[in-house]
């Protein structure tokens, strides 16, 4: 392979100039956050429908302690929300809802943690690349000025360094920004999915427990539409 793809990373860093350092740091931060979020999402993923059925079955049999223990056995935010509701079994509807809303105030920030940093990286990486483009073009004009002042002929080699810096920093900034932006949107989508599951589970639990309290007989499990 020819061109830049045949060069090693150190050669590219040298050609890109000083602004390659912050771009490289951005890539490290982005990669670390992406890996962390993917691992975190995989650890809190559960079969929400099956989990809700298990909780409702225990509540129907008046096994409150077992339902709480089942929630404690999972790290999913859905489990944490349902646990807060189960602990209020027999209380008024508003009290149950308030308990689960308070639990969500702790769970949602966990889902969104460090996501702002990833968004910042996705936004500033192309700007750093653009700044490198500007500094590279300034280097070119400076070379032209020096050559003209000395009455020396200008050669392509005099401009190659500045143009190379401009193009490489632009490329590096985009190579960091594009996957970071894709990863950010993916994380936002997963967080919205978890939040929706939490809201549905909370609503179904409130309706289920209130139905039991009002009728005094087992209620049907509310399923997702």
**DSSP characters for 154-169?**
--HHHHHHHHHHHHHH
| Distance between CA atoms of residues 117 and 94, nearest Å | 36
- Pair 168, 16: CB distance under 8 Å: yes
Q: State pLDDT tens for residues 35-70.
A: 999 999 999 999 999 999 999 999 988 899 999 999
Q: State yes or no: pLDDT of 224 exceeds 50.
A: no
For residues 150-167, average pLDDT: 75
The residue count of the chain comes to 225
Residue 190 lies in a domain: yes
Nearest to 205 by CA among 122, 109, 28, 83: 83
- Pair 3, 151: CB distance under 8 Å: no
Q: State pLDDT tens for residues 185-198.
A: 999 999 999 999 99
Nearest to 166 by CA among 16, 5, 12: 16
Residue 69 lies in a domain: yes
Residue 143 lies in a domain: no
How confident is residue 222, by pLDDT bands cut at 50, 70 and 90?
Answer: very low
Q: Is 127 exposed, middle or buried (0-12, 13-18, 19+ CB in 10 A)?
A: exposed
Crossing angle for the helix pair 77-86 and 93-112, nearest 10 degrees?
160
Q: State pLDDT tens for residues 124-156.
A: 999 999 999 998 888 888 777 877 777 777 677
Which domain range does residue 205 map to? 19-123+177-215
DSSP 23: H
pLDDT for 5: 63
pLDDT for 78: 95
Residue 95 lies in a domain: yes
Nearest to 53 by CA among 42, 65, 45, 61: 61
Residue 142 lies in a domain: no
How confident is residue 2, by pLDDT bands cut at 50, 70 and 90?
Answer: low
Number of structural domains the chain divides into: 1
pLDDT for 11: 77
Q: State yes or no: pLDDT of 221 exceeds 70.
A: no
Residue 35 lies in a domain: yes
Terminal C-alpha separation, the chain: 54
Residue 160 lies in a domain: no
Three-state DSSP state, 19: coil
Neighbours of 209 (CB within 10 A): 21
Q: How many CA atoms lie within 13 A of 207 on its CB side?
A: 11
Residue 130 lies in a domain: no
DSSP 7: S
62 φψ region: left (φ > 0), alpha (ψ -120 to 50), beta (else): left
pLDDT for 7: 67
pLDDT for 26: 96
| Distance between CA atoms of residues 14 and 181, nearest Å | 26
Average pLDDT along the chain: 87
């Amino acid at each position: 392979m020819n061109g830049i793809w045949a060069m090693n990373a150190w050669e590219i860093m040298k050609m890109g100039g000083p602004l390659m350092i912050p771009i490289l740091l951005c890539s490290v931060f982005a990669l670390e956050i992406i890996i962390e979020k993917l691992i975190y999402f995989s650890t809190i993923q559960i079969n929400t429908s099956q989990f809700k059925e298990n909780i409702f079955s225990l509540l129907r049999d008046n096994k409150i302690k077992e339902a709480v223990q089942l929630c404690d056995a999972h790290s999913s935010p859905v489990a944490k929300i349902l646990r807060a509701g189960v602990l209020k079994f027999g209380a008024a509807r508003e009290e149950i809802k308030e308990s689960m809303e308070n639990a969500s105030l702790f769970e949602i920030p966990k889902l969104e943690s460090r996501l702002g940093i990833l968004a910042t990286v996705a936004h500033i990486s192309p700007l750093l690349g653009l700044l490198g483009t500007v500094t590279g073009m300034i280097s070119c004009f400076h070379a032209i000025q020096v050559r003209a002042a000395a009455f020396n002929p200008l050669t392509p080699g005099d401009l190659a360094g500045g143009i190379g810096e401009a193009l490489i920093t632009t490329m590096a900034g985009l190579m960091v920004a594009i996957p970071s932006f894709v990863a950010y949107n993916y994380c936002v989508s997963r967080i919205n999915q978890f939040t929706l599951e939490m809201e549905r589970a909370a609503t179904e639990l409130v309706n289920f427990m209130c139905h039991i309290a009002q009728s005094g007989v087992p209620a049907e499990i509310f399923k997702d539409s």
